[in-house]
Amino acid sequence: MPLPMQAKLLRVLQERQITPLGTNRVVTVDVRVVAATHRDLASMVEAGTFRQDLLFRLNVIPLPMPPLRERVADILPLAEHFLAGVSSDTARKHLSADAQRLLATFAWPGNVHELANAIERASALAPGQVLTREDFAFLTVTKDGAPEAIPSTLLKLPLPQAVARLERALIDHALAASGGNRAAAARRLGISRQSLYTRMTSLGMSDAGS
């Protein structure tokens, strides 16, 4: 949004009034604004491309959304949801165990939109009612033609073990990146501190109660 438009939006949010185009009549508005961005607004404020006062006005209740690769437990439920949306009631398609392992261990650089598109593409092109790993072969190649880094050891494990191992690795990474601070690690993972403790306990991580 250009800076002049940012100023106009800020004025609306502060004064709760607008002047419809082509009139001099002032109209009072009562609205709630929900804004989303994939950009670093704090850096944009420093660069002078985003108004700091508008950021303060919009940033009342921030809800950071971690990337899908950090929300492993969400991948398969989302995949099933999208699959139900593209399947007919009489010809419901399903994911095989190897397809589930692939989806659970894929990096998903395009996040939820990429997952939805992958499910729709595989469902449209698969010859049968069960989607296998081969139906998602397009996921294992990046745009430059290089193989996607999916640990072969994970793909050989039963799905629950593969997800548990990946989840533990993500928790270890978050703890290391947070200097061992559990609260900070939980925020990085997009879960509550209690949820982090619960997951660490269920995964047998010895310092869960620290």
Question: 87 and 46, same structural domain?
Answer: no
Q: Are residues 208 and 168 in the same domain?
A: yes
pLDDT at 90: 65
The packing angle between helices 111-125 and 72-86, to 10°, is 40
Virtual torsion, Cα 132, 135, 137, 140, nearest 10 deg: -70
79 and 134: one domain? yes
Gap between the Cα atoms of 91 and 196, Å rounded: 39
Mean pLDDT of 30-46: 88
Query: Do 94 and 137 belong together in one domain?
Result: yes
pLDDT of residue 53: 94
User: Which of the listed residues 34, 58, 82 is the one where a domain comes to its end?
Assistant: 58
> 11 vs 177, which has greater pLDDT?
11
| Claim to verify: residue 73 and residue 54 sit in the same structural domain | no
Give the mean model confidence (pLDDT) for residues 183-207.
82
What is the tens place of the pLDDT at every residue in 111-162?
899 999 999 999 988 888 899 998 998 886 544 444 444 555 666 667 777 7
Q: Do 118 and 161 fall into the same domain?
A: no
Q: Determine the pLDDT at residue 126.
A: 85
Mean per-residue pLDDT over the chain, rounded: 84
90 and 123, same structural domain? Answer: yes
Q: Determine the structural domain holding residue 53 and report its residue range.
A: 3-58
pLDDT score for 146? 42
Query: Any bridge partners for residue 88, and if so which?
Result: 91
3-class SS of residue 192: coil
Check pLDDT > 90 for residue 49: yes
pLDDT of the residue at 118: 93
Distant-in-sequence contacts of 43-50, Cβ < 8 A, 24+ apart: 49/3, 50/6
Q: Are 193 and 186 spatial neighbours (Cβ–Cβ below 8 Å)?
A: yes
Structure tokens that stand for 199 in this block: 């997951």
125 and 70 within one domain = yes
Question: Is residue 99 within 8 Å of 140, Cβ to Cβ?
Answer: no
pLDDT mean over 182-187: 84
- The answer to whether residue 210 scores a pLDDT higher than 60 is no
Q: Are residues 126 and 74 in the same domain?
A: yes
Q: Is there a contact between 37 and 30 (Cβ–Cβ < 8 Å)?
A: no
Q: Which one, of 58, 12, 67, 52, lies nearest residue 34 by Cα?
A: 58
- The domain boundary, picked from 100, 126, 149, lies at 149
Residues 41 and 80 in one domain: no
Are 36 and 108 contained in the same domain? no
Domain count, the chain: 3
The reply to whether 71 and 145 lie within a common domain is yes
What is the pLDDT averaged over residues 173-194?
A: 82
Q: What is the pLDDT of residue 8?
A: 92
